[in-house]
Amino acid sequence: MLIVLEGLDGAGKSTQLKAMEAYFKERTRMVRFMHFPCYDTPVYGSLIARFLRGDSGPIDSVDPYLVSLLFAGNRFEMAPRIRKWLQDGEVVLLDRYVYSNIAFQCAKLKNPAEREQLRDFILKMEYEHFGIPRPDVNLFLDVPLTFVKEKLESPRQGEDRSYLQGKDDIHEASLSFQQRVRDVYLDQAVDDKSFRIISCNDQEGRMAQWQVIFERIIPYLP
């Protein structure tokens, strides 16, 4: 079983993945976890880190087709490990996957037709050309943008930020960009039955408690 958790930057994916891991372990299922991008891979990981640090230029100065190739190549590097876990009957939880590539790269294009063309290019490149495993379900955490704004404006630290080398992530620099990313994510539910939107709002439109959000995820877990 391959389960992907998607969301905007600062959406609380790590918290929900920990809850999902505990859920499966309580049911005596073997669980594996992987976060994308994987920055410690020898080729694509290091290039992605350079891009996100802004070493390759501002966010709108690099062709999104070329950027999508970096993220796709990173998954291709890790695909044998994921495939082995699945063959062993383990549950594989992924923090970001192909739809992150689609959402963050297509959000850089304003023309809907151009977005659709890039989306199709990424899907064909990742699943057909590189042949990476297809998820059983993609879960998108749809969080209030006010929550994302608070997260991005507060200091973010930890080992998972070491790729920045003290710099800012160019994908996290603009709330308007995050809004466009969200719009692209929401569009995916129309075309892919495996893509599920998990509302993270409470009745007042604020961020719900993580336990409430997890209860909304459970129906999509085996």
Backbone φ and ψ for 208, nearest 5 degrees, come out as -75, 160
Mean pLDDT (whole number) for 46-61: 86
- Which of 104, 188, 205 minimizes the C-alpha distance to 147? 205
Q: Go through 31-47 and write b for each residue having 16 or more CB atoms within 10 A of its CB, e for each that does not.
A: bbebebbebebeebbeb
- Percentage of the chain beyond pLDDT 70 is 92
**Looking at the DSSP assignment, which residues form a beta bridge with residue 95?**
5, 35
pLDDT value at 160 more than 80: no
Tokens standing for residue 88: 């062993």
Which residue range(s) make up the domain with 48?
2-220
pLDDT, tens only, 114-129: 999 999 999 999 999 9
The number of domains in the chain is: 1
pLDDT, tens only, 73-111: 999 999 999 999 999 999 999 999 999 999 999 999 999
Half-sphere exposure of 26 (CA within 13 A, CB side): 7
Mean pLDDT (whole number) for 7-14: 88
pLDDT value at 31 more than 90: yes
Q: Is 162:38 a contact under the CB 8 Å cutoff?
A: no
Its pTM stands at: 0.91
Q: Is 109:115 a contact under the CB 8 Å cutoff?
A: yes
What's the CATH number where 136 sits? 3.40.50.300
